[in-house]
Amino acid sequence: MAKAGKAKIETYNNPAGGWGALKYVALNLVKEHVADGKGLRTLLSQNQPDGFDCPGCAWPDREHTSTFEFCENGVKAVAAEATKKRVTNDFFARHTVAELMQQSDYELEDHGRLTAPMVYDAVSDKYVPIAWPQAFELIARHLNALPDPDMADFYVSGRASNEAAFLFQLFVRQYGTNNFPDCSNMCHEPTSVGLPGTVGVGKGTVLLDDFDLCDTLFLFGQNPATNHPRMMGELRHASKRGATIVAINPLKERGLERFADPQSKMEMLTMGSTQISSMFIHPTLGGDLALIKGVIKRTIELDDEAVAAGAERVLDVQFIAEHTSGFEEFAADARAQNWEDIIGESGVSRADIEKLTQVYVRGKAVIATWGMGLTQHKHAVGTIQLLSNMMMLRGNIGRPGAGLCPVRGHSNVQGDRTVGIDEKPTDAFLDRLEQVFEFKAPRHHGNDTVGSVMAMLEGRTKVFIGLGGNFAMATPDTPRTFDAMRSCNLTVHITTKLNRSHLVHGKDALILPTLGRTEIDRQAGGAQGVTVEDSMSMVHVSYGINKPASELCMSETAIVAHIAEATMKHRNNGKKIEWLWYAEDYSRIRDAIEKVYDSFKDYNQRITNPGGFHLGVASRERVWKTDTGKANFVVHAIPLDTPIHRARKIHGDKLMTLMTTRSHDQYNTTIYGMDDRYRGVFGQRRVIFINKQDLEMLGLKDGEWVDVVSVWDDGIERRADGFLLVEYDIPRGCLGSYYPETNPLVPLESFADKARTPTSKSIPVLLHRAAVQHAKVA
């Protein structure tokens, strides 16, 4: 277990950020043994023009030229990568896979950086060393033995660079499949699916400068003090300027209340802090669609009243007339919507909806941001479409200081999709790829993440290759995912650190150690930079500065090129691509990307700008790439028959809705430590937040241990045992807990309509007092 001290629950009353954040940074640097001069130099090079892009998250930087921007999340990510700890061949010789499976996720990654390619040996149940060329040949042999290329799945986690990702998709498509499950299938997919239907592009419309100009900010379903700390600087400035900030979240996340900026000498020295949100709205889990519909209804009603009174219009009638389609039907639906369902399904009072609407209609420049609280629900696509429609009512898209701001997770998750990691590619893109590279690309859609697990379970997928990530732990329905991975002929992980996906392996299995972004990537053409796209569509270059963790680590791009070379030399699909030539000098890959995408014009030249360049987002320019050529209003009914509704019909009030989120000390499946400081949880992770009245209703007590069982209708038992109940300020009927411990509870078949994102924030569950009651923790 983590050496995090005694387990305790203790209310946190300080602001987020501040000295507490600095202290934890120091602790992390010491833990990873990087607190010497070199470690600090590494941190100071983060997000500098000649340094590396922070692997922490996808939030942009001001021009990439600011002095070192302090961020606890970034420091932890960098320290975890720059750690001095190493997993050696000797380590693998000492442990069988069965033994390693007994270790926690924290312990597995805490062994440090992987140093040599390893292959699974079934006789000893151990990973043993393999030379790189043999590893590539093993992959080629498996891939070429498959009767159908669709029997291989190629997963990408969002840290892969544009160069590695582009080469990967090119290889996979020339090999013959569009099977690209990726982490964004579990993340912002509903954004990427929803926004094209309304505004034409599945990306945000704002730039950082808009945060200086907005007067109103709505923060939907995200926890920036933990997950995007650099965003807190923008929120702090906006608040100080007098912008109105509203947090829409079932939890009163500490960082949304008060924040002390470690960048501000004044706040640090005086122990001061800045109020962030002036208003909190606490919807029930999944209640945002109904809530947004309520604001839309009220906004239209206020406009109707203004028309009747001959007063100034509330709607931006000019924008609606000039730029949108479908308004009349949309408005009629909103007018006809009953309040009972709005209030009942959102869990927000009529008075609060009125307050929220008043803030909205007073705002002259409104930005709406959102995270996983909106995307990981059954009706996520509808929610995001309605949110964009709400913004359209007052012309809050494509105007300075206003717009849509989906806040992405992984540092290059947006870029990976841009350069072709997409199981549903458009024909236009494939046409272009075929033209440039002279081969026949597969046209039928491939497996997404959920589809990939299903295909493995059904024996349709036999080879799994992961470019980063931790597929087995990030995906839903853990025991079934484990079965799925174990049914493969071959599993391959291109990876920096040991994780459970390496242990839940196919008949043959490879662990291929790769360079992190902080490390010098030297190829025949010299030291290479890679490029990434942030959450606001800015593309910039990143150069590693540290010595590689091991001489045997290869870059992701080089590994991909070698797999492609080994595999494709035995296949015949159009012109031979010079894979290894591309990997010698990544600017050649960027030239190739430029040939496929007009938006990357002068790619190599434009990344020499310190801040990189903006890819251009049509909706920001009020150019609507939709079927109507306009921004579309779309009617969505409030869903009244979801799995939650159906389960509640059977179990009544005892049925609870569970959300699974991140603690402060984790990066997705990477557990840095056992504390969730701002929520007052220390030294432990198996906790469940629950409302006081629900505790009473269920006859349970704060400090008791419970087992959690999902309610689903396929006869499969889904349970996660041994969680400590923590009385918490959370709406009734809602529970909160951490991922990935609770992933066994998420049914694989429970996903967002149209986007197929697992519904990790709305799992119908029942609580049972656990047979084993541990000692009560204070």
Residues of this chain that interact with ligand MGD (CB under 6 A) are: 57, 73, 109, 157, 159, 183, 186-187, 220-223, 226-228, 248-251, 253, 283, 285-286, 288, 371-373, 376, 409-410, 467-471, 474, 494-497, 499, 514, 516-517, 556, 659-662, 666-670, 739, 742-743, 746, 760-761
Which among Mo ion, ligand MGD, none contacts residue 48 (Cβ within 5 to 8 A by kind)? none
Instruction: State the minimum distance, in angstroms, from the CB of residue 336 to ligand MGD.
Output: 25
Nearer to Mo ion, 603 or 751 (CB): 751
DSSP 524: T
Nearer to ligand MGD, 622 or 662 (CB): 662
**Sign of dihedral through CA atoms 174, 178, 179, 185?**
positive
Instruction: State the minimum distance, in angstroms, from the CB of residue 312 to ligand MGD.
Output: 31
Nearer to Mo ion, 283 or 409 (CB): 409
Instruction: State the minimum distance, in angstroms, from the CB of residue 382 to ligand MGD.
Output: 13
Stretch that binds Mo ion, among 184-192, 284-292, 581-589, 763-771 (CB under 5 A): 184-192
DSSP 676: B
Which of 505, 484, 511, 473 lies closest to 186 in space, CA to CA?
A: 473
Nearer to Mo ion, 54 or 187 (CB): 187
Phi, psi (rounded to 5 degrees) for 113: -80, 140
Which among Mo ion, ligand MGD, none contacts residue 25 (Cβ within 5 to 8 A by kind)? none
Which among Mo ion, ligand MGD, none contacts residue 109 (Cβ within 5 to 8 A by kind)? ligand MGD
Interatomic CA distance for residues 423 and 441, integer angstroms: 13
Instruction: State the minimum distance, in angstroms, from the CB of residue 711 to Mo ion.
Output: 26
DSSP 177: -
Interatomic CA distance for residues 375 and 384, integer angstroms: 8
Instruction: State the minimum distance, in angstroms, from the CB of residue 215 to Mo ion.
Output: 29
Phi, psi (rounded to 5 degrees) for 766: -120, 150
Nearer to ligand MGD, 439 or 712 (CB): 712
Which of 743, 635, 758, 747 lies closest to 380 in space, CA to CA?
A: 758
Using CB atoms within 10 A of its CB, is residue 451 exposed (0-12), middle (13-18) or buried (19+)?
A: buried
Nearer to ligand MGD, 441 or 583 (CB): 583
Judged by CB under 5 A, the chain residues 5 through 44 that form the site for Mo ion are none
Nearer to Mo ion, 185 or 573 (CB): 185
Instruction: State the minimum distance, in angstroms, from the CB of residue 174 to Mo ion.
Output: 29
Stretch that binds Mo ion, among 171-179, 182-190, 505-513, 600-608 (CB under 5 A): 182-190
Which among Mo ion, ligand MGD, none contacts residue 217 (Cβ within 5 to 8 A by kind)? none
Which among ligand MGD, Mo ion, none contacts residue 373 (Cβ within 5 to 8 A by kind)? ligand MGD
Instruction: State the minimum distance, in angstroms, from the CB of residue 370 to Mo ion.
Output: 13
Instruction: State the minimum distance, in angstroms, from the CB of residue 183 to Mo ion.
Output: 6
Is there binding between residue 513 and Mo ion (CB under 5 A)? no
Nearer to ligand MGD, 235 or 494 (CB): 494
Instruction: Return the C-alpha torsion angle 37, 38, 44, 46, nearest 10.
Output: -160
Instruction: State the minimum distance, in angstroms, from the CB of residue 401 to ligand MGD.
Output: 23
Nearer to ligand MGD, 365 or 658 (CB): 658
Which among ligand MGD, Mo ion, none contacts residue 739 (Cβ within 5 to 8 A by kind)? ligand MGD
Strand extents, DSSP E, 147-271: 152-156, 216-220, 244-248, 258-260
User: What are the tokens at 571?
Assistant: 């296949």
User: What are the tokens at 94?
Assistant: 């000492």
Which among Mo ion, ligand MGD, none contacts residue 594 (Cβ within 5 to 8 A by kind)? none
Which of 735, 754, 757, 59 lies closest to 369 in space, CA to CA?
A: 59
| Residue written as token pair 């990939």 | 452
User: What are the tokens at 314?
Assistant: 């509330």
Instruction: State the minimum distance, in angstroms, from the CB of residue 367 to ligand MGD.
Output: 16
Which among Mo ion, ligand MGD, none contacts residue 113 (Cβ within 5 to 8 A by kind)? none
Nearer to ligand MGD, 68 or 280 (CB): 280
Nearer to ligand MGD, 32 or 109 (CB): 109
Using CB atoms within 10 A of its CB, is residue 604 exposed (0-12), middle (13-18) or buried (19+)?
A: middle
Instruction: Yes or no: say if 500 and 107 are a contact pair by the CB < 8 Å rule.
Output: no
Instruction: State the minimum distance, in angstroms, from the CB of residue 501 to Mo ion.
Output: 16
Instruction: Yes or no: say if 481 and 508 are a contact pair by the CB < 8 Å rule.
Output: no
Is there binding between residue 409 and Mo ion (CB under 5 A)? yes
Instruction: State the minimum distance, in angstroms, from the CB of residue 570 to ligand MGD.
Output: 25
Which among Mo ion, ligand MGD, none contacts residue 470 (Cβ within 5 to 8 A by kind)? ligand MGD
Phi, psi (rounded to 5 degrees) for 734: -110, 145
DSSP 121-142: ETTTTEEEE--HHHHHHHHHHH
In this structure, the strands spanning 8-9 and 681-682 are antiparallel
Number of residues that bind Mo ion (CB under 5 A): 2
Helix, strand, or coil here: 263?
coil
Instruction: State the minimum distance, in angstroms, from the CB of residue 279 to ligand MGD.
Output: 13
Nearer to ligand MGD, 100 or 248 (CB): 248
Instruction: State the minimum distance, in angstroms, from the CB of residue 668 to Mo ion.
Output: 7
Q: Which residues pair with 554 in a beta bridge?
A: 514
Instruction: Yes or no: say if 511 and 493 are a contact pair by the CB < 8 Å rule.
Output: yes
**Sign of dihedral through CA atoms 329, 330, 331, 336?**
positive
Which among ligand MGD, Mo ion, none contacts residue 105 (Cβ within 5 to 8 A by kind)? none
Instruction: State the minimum distance, in angstroms, from the CB of residue 372 to Mo ion.
Output: 7
Which among ligand MGD, Mo ion, none contacts residue 535 (Cβ within 5 to 8 A by kind)? none
Question: Which of 108, 143, 187, 199 is the binder for Mo ion (CB under 5 A)?
Answer: 187
Nearer to ligand MGD, 181 or 395 (CB): 181
Q: Which residues pair with 167 in a beta bridge?
A: none
Interatomic CA distance for residues 404 and 381, integer angstroms: 15
Stretch that binds Mo ion, among 65-73, 401-409, 554-562, 704-712 (CB under 5 A): 401-409
Instruction: Yes or no: say if 256 and 249 are a contact pair by the CB < 8 Å rule.
Output: yes
Which among Mo ion, ligand MGD, none contacts residue 264 (Cβ within 5 to 8 A by kind)? none
Which among ligand MGD, Mo ion, none contacts residue 469 (Cβ within 5 to 8 A by kind)? ligand MGD
Which of 22, 6, 64 lies closest to 540 in space, CA to CA?
A: 64
Interatomic CA distance for residues 52 and 61, integer angstroms: 12
Which among Mo ion, ligand MGD, none contacts residue 288 (Cβ within 5 to 8 A by kind)? ligand MGD
Please, which contacts does 304-313 make with residues 24 or more away whose CB atoms are closer than 8 Å? 304/335
Instruction: Yes or no: say if 61 and 47 are a contact pair by the CB < 8 Å rule.
Output: yes
Phi, psi (rounded to 5 degrees) for 690: -145, 145
Interatomic CA distance for residues 536 and 615, integer angstroms: 9
Instruction: Yes or no: say if 706 and 725 are a contact pair by the CB < 8 Å rule.
Output: yes
Which among ligand MGD, Mo ion, none contacts residue 223 (Cβ within 5 to 8 A by kind)? ligand MGD
Which among Mo ion, ligand MGD, none contacts residue 371 (Cβ within 5 to 8 A by kind)? ligand MGD
Alpha-carbon distances of 111 from 115, 390, 408, 451, 472, rounded to whole Å: 11, 48, 29, 32, 19
How many of the other CB atoms lie within 10 Å of CB of 715? 5
Nearer to ligand MGD, 146 or 763 (CB): 763
Which among Mo ion, ligand MGD, none contacts residue 387 (Cβ within 5 to 8 A by kind)? none
User: What are the tokens at 732?
Assistant: 């009734």
Interatomic CA distance for residues 272 and 258, integer angstroms: 10
Q: Which residues pair with 767 in a beta bridge?
A: 708
Is there binding between residue 407 and Mo ion (CB under 5 A)? no
Nearer to ligand MGD, 108 or 119 (CB): 108
Residues contributing to the site for Mo ion (CB under 5 A): 187, 409
